[in-house]
A = this chain, B = another copy of it.
Amino acid sequence: MTESSLLTRLRAARASLPSLVALSAEARNGAVLAMASALRNNADALVEANAHDLAVGVAGGLSPALLDRLRLDATRIESLACSLATVAALPDPLADSAVPARHRNGLKLRQKPVPLGVVAMIYESRPNVTAEAAALCFKAGNACVLRGGREARQSNLAIAQLLEQALHACGITTDCVQVLDDPDRSQQAELLTRDDLVDVIIPRGGEALIRHVVANSRIPVIRHYKGVCHLFVDGAADLGMAQRLLIDGKASRPGVCNALECLLVHRDIALTWLPSAAAALMARGVELRGCAAARASVPSIAEASDEDWGYEFLAPVLAIRVVDDLDAALAHIRRYGSNHTEVICSTDATACARFVNEVDASAVVVNASSRFNDGGELGLGAEIGISTSKLHAYGPMGLASLTTRKWVIEGEGQVRHALE
C-alpha cells in the first residue's frame, strides 16, 4: 500500500523541524528576505499565473469582490515583498526571554520559546496569504502546510515555486513549506485527522469554512468566526468624538472584521445626536437599519429585522438600536457580540470601567476606533490571524502566537525523594 501524497508531505514537513530549530535568527531572517526578493524579481511570472486564475474566475462567474481579492498586480506584489521584509525585521520570537531564570530547590528554571511545530492553514481566495503565512511560520521556526482556495490555484503554485527557490538558495530544506495542490478538497479531510503530524490548524475565511474545520478536526484549531463589533454611545459622551468613531468604524473600510456592524445609542441622546450621525453615514453611502426607537428619531432609517442583530454585514450596512442604559447595552453585546471588538464612547469613568470589566471580547476599546484591533496597530507586527476564542490566543496573533514555551530544568543531580 503506498502512502498518500498528503501523508508524504506531512511527514516531510515534520521531519524538517529539527533542522529549522538549528537555524540562527539571522539565517531565518535571511531566508525570509530571500523569499521577498524572489517574489519581487519574478513579479511578471506571478502576474501571468494570476491571469490564469482570474480568467477561470471570470468564466466561472466569481463576484467582483472575490476577483479583486484574487488579483495580483505589480503594486500588490511589491507590497507583499515589503510585508515579508517587515516580517524579517521583527524581533526574533524564539529569542530567550528577558525574564531571568528562577531558582527553586537549587534548580535553574526557565521557559524557553519554541516553535509550535507543523502549522496548517486552510484559507480562501487571497494568494498573498500563501507567502505571508509561509514567512511568519518559518520565522517562528515552524514548518507549514498551506491549503489555499481553488480559485487561486495557479497563483499559489507560482508563489510556492518562488518560496522553494528562495529556501533552496539559502541551503534550507524546502520540505518546511508545503503548498498543497488540492483543487477538489480531497486532501483536506485527511489533513484534519492527522493530529500525529500537525500541531495546529488556522483556518481563515468565512464562518462556514471555520465551522467545518472545527467540526471535523482532531487537531487544535485557532478560531476566528466573525467580527460583529458594536459601538455603544453613552448618554454622557463627546458627541463629536462619537461621530468620528462611528464613521471610522463603519465607513473607512466596511469589509474588514474590525469594522462596526451595530451602533447602540443611549436613549438620552437618540433625539439630539442620532439624526446628525445617521445623516453623516448616509452621506457616505451606508445603509441604516434600526429599531423602532431609532426610526422614531430618524424616520429615514429602514426597519431592522431580527436577523440584523449580531449579523456580520462586511458591507456598508449598519444596524442601530436605542438602549435604555449601559446595562441594556452590555446585555445586547453579551447576546449578539462575537468576542471580537467592542467600543464604548463615554465621558463617564464608571461606565467605561464597567464596560472594560464586563465585556467579553478580544479587544475592549474606550473612546477610540474599533479599527485599532489589528496586529500592526497593537505593535505585534504582521498577523497570522485573529482569534475570537480564548485558548492560546485571544485577538490578533503575531509571531509570538506561533510559538509556545517549554520548561528547561537544569540541576546538579537533584531528586525528589532521597534514596532509601
On A, residues with C-beta under 8 Å from B are 17-18, 21-22, 102, 104-105, 107, 109, 112, 114, 116-117, 195, 199-200, 214-215, 218, 220-223, 238, 241, 244-245, 247-248, 252-253, 330, 334, 352, 356-358, 360-369, 371-373, 377-379, 389-392, 394-395, 404-417, 419
B residues near A200, Cβ cutoff 8 Å: 390-391
Query: Is there contact, CB below 8 Å, between A368 and B410?
Result: yes
The answer to whether A404 and B390 touch (CB under 8 A), given A368-B414, A409-B368, A410-B367, is: yes
B residues near A107, Cβ cutoff 8 Å: 368, 372
13 further interface pairs, Cβ-Cβ under 8 Å (given A105-B372, A252-B416, A252-B417): A107-B368, A117-B360, A199-B390, A214-B218, A215-B218, A244-B413, A244-B419, A248-B415, A368-B411, A371-B416, A378-B407, A378-B409, A391-B404
Q: Looking at chain A's contact residues, is the secondary structure mostly helix, strand, loop, or mixed?
A: mixed
B residues near A366, Cβ cutoff 8 Å: 408-411
- Kindly name the residue among A367, A373, A411, A412 whose own CB sees the greatest number of chain B CB atoms within 10 A: A411
B residues near A407, Cβ cutoff 8 Å: 362-364, 373, 378, 395
B residues near A379, Cβ cutoff 8 Å: 102, 104, 109
Query: Is there contact, CB below 8 Å, between A377 and B248?
Result: no
B residues near A358, Cβ cutoff 8 Å: 18, 21-22
Number of copies of this chain that the complex holds: 2
A-B contact pairs, 15 of them (CB 8 A): A17-B360, A104-B378, A114-B360, A116-B390, A117-B360, A222-B391, A241-B412, A244-B413, A244-B419, A253-B417, A363-B409, A369-B411, A391-B392, A391-B404, A395-B406
Query: Is there contact, CB below 8 Å, between A414 and B364?
Result: no
Q: Which residue of B lies closest to A245 (CB)?
A: B415
- In the bound assembly, the distance between CA atoms of A419 and B277 in angstroms comes to 13
- In the bound assembly, the distance between CA atoms of A312 and B311 in angstroms comes to 49
- In the bound assembly, the distance between CA atoms of A104 and B391 in angstroms comes to 26
- In the bound assembly, the distance between CA atoms of A364 and B411 in angstroms comes to 11
- Kindly name the residue among A18, A195, A377, A390 whose own CB sees the greatest number of chain B CB atoms within 10 A: A390
The answer to whether A365 and B241 touch (CB under 8 A), given A22-B357, A200-B391, A358-B21, is: no
- How far apart are A342's CB and chain B's nearest CB, in angstroms? 10
Return the 8 tightest CB-CB contacts between A and B, nearest first: A368-B411, A248-B415, A241-B413, A363-B407, A390-B404, A392-B392, A252-B417, A220-B391
- In the bound assembly, the distance between CA atoms of A417 and B369 in angstroms comes to 10
- In the bound assembly, the distance between CA atoms of A358 and B141 in angstroms comes to 12
